[in-house]
Structure 1
């Protein structure tokens, strides 16, 4: 079986919340695609509930694109501790962390309502009943209070 980098990561050594560059892949024409580990909660110590995680996913898909160019995808980890963020080119972990922080700040704000969450209707979402804006906002506030690092092993707050 192929080795998967994230399964080689020592999850007992990381210090969430953080943004970590996993790898940069190059396409046949030399295009760079960067894969980031966006870890919101400490592995094996906590997990974001599925309804809140789902709403964070939908919200951040739009909010991040407002702050940084080149995002391809923002997909939740099955362990419910964070997301893979796939991007064109080679942005730094610090640049990505700043975009994540700004996005979480907007999500946590009083002005962010259900009207701002994209893709929550039955025709737009494969599990439209499984959302929690309240939960998403509470997790965003918690993550911001703990501060986001641009390094997984040493706290480099953005």
Structure 2
């Protein structure tokens, strides 16, 4: 057993989870009563597979842009450094089934994309690192496993 850390995902036993899944990873309560819900949206099995960086980068752009069409509670959709998934953060939105529905609608919209939004040097910090076809393949694969998203272990 390793020492406990200050990072929830570091304390998750990555050998026990079964991707793909969507897991409530944390809830932060603000002093004024707001709650931030952080979801672990795992596309790939940790330490067995990962998303190629250009495809992950494009999927991040596509999803971050589209997801706000389905919820005004989204704070952020950001990639994990391990390249196995994303973190989705929402404010004052605790309905897990609705989060799954928001993700499903978003990824269905992503599949219709013909270009990556903000894929240029003005709007992106590494505009040369994108792969639309790879992003669409990742979205399609994750959606095909929709019935498994609620199974974490």
TM-score, normalised via structure 2 length: 0.90
SS at match of 1:15: coil
Q: Which residue in the other structure is 1:150 paired with?
A: 150
Structure 1 CA distance for aligned equivalents of residues 53 and 109 of structure 2: 21
| Gapped regions of structure 2 (runs ≥ 5) | none
**Which of 71, 75, 84 pairs up with 1:72?**
75
Aligned pair count?
149
SS at match of 1:54: helix
Residue 73 of structure 2 contacts residue 93 of structure 2 at CA under 8 Å; is this kept in 1?
A: no
Deviation at 1:151, TM superposition (A): 3.9
Structure 2 CA distance for aligned equivalents of residues 99 and 41 of structure 1: 20
RMSD: 1.6
Residue 8 of structure 2 contacts residue 25 of structure 2 at CA under 8 Å; is this kept in 1?
A: yes
Deviation at 1:62, TM superposition (A): 1.6
Structure 1 CA distance for aligned equivalents of residues 34 and 152 of structure 2: 26
**Which of 44, 49, 56 pairs up with 1:46?**
49
Structure 2 CA distance for aligned equivalents of residues 67 and 150 of structure 1: 20
TM-score, normalised via structure 1 length: 0.87
Structure 2 CA distance for aligned equivalents of residues 107 and 30 of structure 1: 33
| Aligned 1:73-152 pairs, distance under 5 A | 73-109=76-112, 112-114=113-115, 117-147=116-146, 148-152=148-152
Structure 2 CA distance for aligned equivalents of residues 150 and 83 of structure 1: 16
Residue 18 of structure 1 contacts residue 97 of structure 1 at CA under 8 Å; is this kept in 2?
A: no
Residue 93 of structure 1 contacts residue 151 of structure 1 at CA under 8 Å; is this kept in 2?
A: no
| Gapped regions of structure 1 (runs ≥ 5) | 154-158
Structure 2 CA distance for aligned equivalents of residues 105 and 90 of structure 1: 21
Structure 2 CA distance for aligned equivalents of residues 122 and 58 of structure 1: 14
Structure 1 CA distance for aligned equivalents of residues 106 and 150 of structure 2: 15
Q: Which residue in the other structure is 2:32 paired with?
A: 29
Residue 24 of structure 1 contacts residue 32 of structure 1 at CA under 8 Å; is this kept in 2?
A: yes
Q: Which residue in the other structure is 1:156 paired with?
A: none
Structure 1 CA distance for aligned equivalents of residues 57 and 132 of structure 2: 9
